[in-house]
Amino acid sequence: MFQKISLFIIFLFLFTLPAYSNELSNVEIHGFASTGYIISDKYNYLANSKDGTFEFNEAGINFSSSLAEDIQVGMQLYSYDLGDIGNNTIKLDWAFIDYYWKQLLGFRLGKFKTPLALYNEILDYDMLYTQTILPQSIYNKYYRESIKSTQGINLYGKLNMGVTGILDYNLYTGSENIDTDGGVAKLFSYKNSVFKGANAKNLFGGRLKWNVFMKDLVFAASYFQTDFKYEIDTSGVKTVIEYPKTVMKVLSAEYTRGNFKSSFEYQMTSGNLISTTDMTNIGMPIINKTENEYDNDMYYGQVSYRFCKCFEGGVYYSVFNAERIDSSVEYPEYADWQKDLAVSFRLDINELWLLKFEIHHVKGIAQILTDLQPEDCKGENWTSFACKTTFNF
Amino acid sequence: MKKRISIVCLMSIISASILLTHRNAIAEVVIIVNKSVSIDTMSQSTISNIYFGNMTKWPDGKTIHVVMLKGGKTHETYVKKILVSTPSRLISYWKKVVFTGIGIRPKIFKNEQDLVSYVSNTKGTIGYIDDSVLDESVKVVTIIQ
């Protein structure tokens, strides 16, 4: 009930505030709300899309203020719905105090957006990119909650290197709670099992961004490491799955010139998982322990062009390659990859309101296997269509 | 007679075009700062770095406060010629700042006189205006190559 009332208040804020951001005394207020539709022909992609679904929305509102010349505080509330996950539960997205001491060194303390790859910090904000759905090989919406923000400390700064450009760095450490009703829970739940909770306690990483020749060309390298542990319950059988060390490394490049923009990113994810099954609850005091290593690689390339003040188009090609961990189940070969060719259109009705359309032609099903059984695989090629409208102020 | 009228019309059109072109040529965007800022000259890349968040402190360590115009000819000329970018990219950058919480959006003015007045009264501020609205309350920064 509280969540519904809170959600109602957020929407009320968004649609009753004047067209521009508000400044109540010294507090800045900004927000956004979006709603969309996804439909696909063979598989449920991201949401229950085979029959078409409107369960594809998000909203957020933030408040920020300067306490002193170099000190700033702020927070953002965020809610989303994507099929079975999110369900418009309002969560604290970020809240931190920021002290920008010198150009070379600043500190953020609290919950902040995790600086990772080129677009991790903005993946919830439609108005900041051309696509309706960012390339899922790297910006998987189901992993969002495990990488979107970090509770801890962030050191950052910029080094001016003269004619060679600007070096922008971020270092952070902390932890992150994983929701039991979020994307990770959905990914790691199987039929007849209940996701009992998870956390990432020792998380750290960094990103180095080199802005070459003003802002036209950006190279970035990101490192993210975390431990991760979760528990599922299947009819009284408790299974604890630990990822003692999961490492993500991302190399990125972005080129912007006038109305043209292109980017390319390559990510490697590796680690090992230890699965411990405890059957003492069902009278079989056997603890079965298995250990596996995994190694996935993924990449995408995209180009976009703004044809006029209100219309932008783009294309991306995104590839996800998964290493099969459980070889006991015989999935078709195309379950090991997902290659997504997407064509996107964006129409800015005005500075505050936009519409987006996108069509995907996909080969492979590596990222939609959650509830699929081998007999449910209906072929390698499939398509989906997504559209979205977003209001922000 | 008809030929003379045609020549007069043609001359009038050419004269009007020259006048308009001349007017555009003398309409120039100038970079202004609060008088507390010790800088007198800046390179184009420095100005671009300031407006895209890559430079946030003046050489004396004080925070740079950016102000912008909401739109219009001065704004478009400034973004395209000085920042070598587009208005949509600039607004996207500041929306990113706002929604990730890493900063506070600059003050945005609809009116250039209001912008001048704000810059003259706020330490560490940088802005841009058409030189026709320039007055002595602010300092002009010369762009160097």
The total of other beta-carbon atoms located within 10 Å of residue A285's CB is 9
Tell if the CB–CB gap between A100 and B91 is shorter than 8 Å. Answer: no
In chain B, the domains with their CATH numbers are: 28-144 (3.40.190.10)
- Highest mean pLDDT of the ranges A61-70, A326-335, A340-349: A340-349
B1 confidence band (pLDDT: 50, 70, 90): low
- Nearest-angstrom CA–CA distance, A306 and A309: 7
- Note whether A148 and A120 are within 8 A (CB): yes
Query: What average pLDDT does the structure give for chain B?
Result: 86
> Residue A267: its pLDDT value, please?
97
Alpha-carbon distance of B74 to B85, in angstroms, equals 14
Of A208-217, A328-337, A346-355, B20-29, where does mean pLDDT reach its minimum? B20-29
Q: What is the pLDDT of residue B21?
A: 41
Query: Cα–Cα distance between B78 and A228 in angstroms, integer?
Result: 49
Q: Of A164, A162, A119, A163, which Cα lies nearest the Cα of A144?
A: A119
pLDDT at B5: 59
Our measurement of the distance from residue B20's CA atom to the centroid of its chain's CA atoms, rounded to an integer in Å, reads 21
Per-residue pLDDT, averaged over A178-201, amounts to 75
Determine the residue among A29, A65, A71, A103 to mutate to test chain B binding: the one whose Cβ has the most chain B Cβ atoms within 10 Å.
Answer: A103
At A16, the pLDDT band (50, 70, 90 cuts) reads very low
Residue A164 in this model has a pLDDT that exceeds 50: yes
Closest CA to A342 of A316, A364, A375: A316
Tokens of A166: 């600007």
Structure tokens given for A246 = 């999961």
How is chain A split into domains, by residue range? Answer: 2-392
Q: Say which of A122, A127, A309 has its CB closest to residue B100.
A: A122
Range ranked top by mean pLDDT from A162-176, A208-222, A322-336: A162-176
Of A28, A75, A100, the CB nearest to B105: A28
Q: Which of B52, B62, B96 sits opposite A215 (nearest CB)?
A: B52
Higher per-residue confidence, B107 vs A329:
B107
Q: What is the pLDDT of residue A377?
A: 81
Task: Indicate yes or no: CB of A64 within 8 angstroms of CB of B101.
Answer: yes
User: Average pLDDT for residues B127-142, to the nearest whole number?
Assistant: 95
Q: B11: distance to nearest CA of chain A, Å?
A: 35
CB pairs under 8 A between A and B: 90
Contact B99 A62 (CB under 8 A): yes
pLDDT at B119: 97
Question: Residue A130: which residues within 8 A CB-CB, separation 6 or more?
Answer: A261, A304, A312, A313, A314, A344, A346, A356
Q: Which ipTM score applies to this complex? A: 0.87
Q: Do B100 and A70 touch (CB under 8 A)?
A: no
* CATH architecture for residues A2-392: Beta Barrel (2.40)
Quick: pLDDT tens for A271-280: 988 888 887 7
- What residues of chain A lie within 8 A of the CB of B103, using their CB? 72
Position B24 scores a pLDDT of 39
pLDDT for the residue numbered A266: 98
Higher pLDDT, A181 or A212: A212
What is the band of A353 on the pLDDT scale with cuts at 50, 70, 90? very high
pLDDT at residue A2, rounded to an integer: 43
pTM: 0.85
Looking at the complex, does the CB of residue B7 fall below 8 Å from at least one CB of chain A? no
Judging contacts by C-beta atoms under 8 Å, the chain A residues touching residue B57 are: 102-103
Tokens 């920021």, residue?
A98
